[in-house]
Amino acid sequence: MAFGITSITLITVDILNRLEKKNKKKRCLSADTRVCLKGFGIFLFGFAIAQLFNEVLKNAVGRLRPHFFDVCRPNVFFINCSEGYITNYTCTNREHSATILRNIRQSFPSGHAVFSMFTAMYLALYIQIRLNISYSLILKPTFQAGLLLLSLLCSASRITDHMHHCSDVIAGLILGFIVACAVFYSLGTKYLNNHNGDSICSSDDIEENSVPASKECQIPLQLLHEKSKCTRLKSKTLTSSSLIV
């Protein structure tokens, strides 16, 4: 869903900008396409950074998920609770694979919270800097609020499904928020700024406006040229008449 929502959002922003520039008779279509591709590339880079932090923390902390006992069903008859933390146990549930049994010891932080908040925050910042429309004042904040709401709903579902503790989700949201801001303000503000596109637009507009002006000036120039011919002919006529006299 993160990749799908990101692709749809970037394309939507590009289309809205094209419509806005079409109404203003600007030509920046190729520049907008390049910026859109750069935005998706920066998103992939940030997604990889978030994945790296998430995997390192999950394997380093090794916190048990809320449904650990239901999935593992450890043999409690051979566990001595007086020893404190139990590190040696045997799962008696054979219905699940080794991957699932390893996954139940990777609760902190919530990967869904990390990726959903990273996606929502990155796209909210992208919309803030890239979407420029004059016909609606609430469209931009509506998009941003909707993305953040989807992230919070996805994160909250991990608590209601008993897949994560509340602290796991909060830590994931904070981590995703930090990674999104760090990646965007280090790369996004440099490569996705509207000033680059505006400079291209202004140069195109100058060229476009200069062509009609030259065409309009062709008629007055022809008239001036004809007038100069008439003046020269008159001067020659006056000179010949004076010689005759």
pLDDT digits (tens, 9 = 90+) for 71-116: 998 888 877 777 778 878 888 888 888 888 889 999 999 999 999 9
d(CA 121, CA 199) in angstroms, rounded, equals 27
> Does residue 174 carry a pLDDT above 90?
yes
- Residue 237 belongs to a domain: no
- Residue 223 belongs to a domain: no
Better pLDDT: 178 or 37: 178
- Residue 129 belongs to a domain: yes
φ and ψ at residue 84, rounded to 5 degrees: 95, -130
- Residue 218 belongs to a domain: no
So what's the pLDDT on residue 192? 81
pLDDT confidence band for 68 (50 / 70 / 90): very high
- Residue 76 belongs to a domain: no
Which residue reads 């941003």 in tokens? 144
- Residue 152 belongs to a domain: yes
Nearest to 114 by CA among 55, 53, 172: 172
How many Å separate Cα 43 from the centre of its chain? 6
Residue numbers of the domain that contains 53: 2-67+104-192
Provide the domain count of the chain. 1
- Residue 131 belongs to a domain: yes
pLDDT confidence band for 235 (50 / 70 / 90): low
Output DSSP code: residue 83. Answer: G
Catalytic positions are: 112, 164
- Residue 43 belongs to a domain: yes
